[in-house]
């Protein structure tokens, strides 16, 4: 029964753009954060400021400030998303008001795929 409920909760969506290696903007403006992963930050990320680096150094998810890798992650996720119909399973809202969701393309989980490519790590 729970597998049915998960399938019923999945919805096909239109993706307007890939914001970075772990987030999307849908055509209706909804901001979506891929659940369970963390991708490298892009240049200009506030998480990579000296103050944030010091504050988050010992956190469960310290900033990953490899900006070149962040660009690779964004490009790879954009190619992956372009590969077929996109479905999301909404799971909640994060502290920034983004929808937390499992995102799948052709039945393949985008977060798992990004980790398999070495372009994301597990969000703890």
CATH of the domain at 68: 2.40.50.90
CA-closest candidate to residue 38, choices 30, 29, 47:
47
Q: What is the pTM of this model?
A: 0.88
Q: How high is the pLDDT of residue 9?
A: 61
pLDDT tens figures, 45-64: 999 999 999 999 999 989 99
Instruction: Domain count for the chain, please give it.
Output: 1
For 8, the domain range is 2-122
Mean pLDDT of the chain: 92
Report the pLDDT value the prediction gives residue 7, as an integer from 0 to 100: 42
């Amino acid at each position: 029964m729970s597998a049915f409920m998960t399938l019923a909760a999945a919805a096909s969506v239109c993706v307007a753009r890939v914001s970075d290696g772990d987030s999307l903007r849908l055509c209706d403006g909804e901001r979506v954060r891929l659940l369970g992963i963390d991708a490298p930050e892009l240049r200009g990320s506030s998480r990579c400021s000296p103050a944030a680096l010091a504050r988050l150094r010992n956190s469960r998810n310290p900033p990953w400030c490899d900006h070149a890798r962040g660009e690779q992650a964004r490009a790879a996720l954009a190619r992956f998303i372009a590969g077929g119909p996109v479905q999301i399973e909404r799971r909640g809202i994060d502290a920034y008001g983004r929808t937390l969701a499992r995102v799948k393309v052709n039945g393949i989980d985008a977060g798992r795929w990004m980790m398999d490519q070495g372009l994301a790590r597990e969000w703890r």
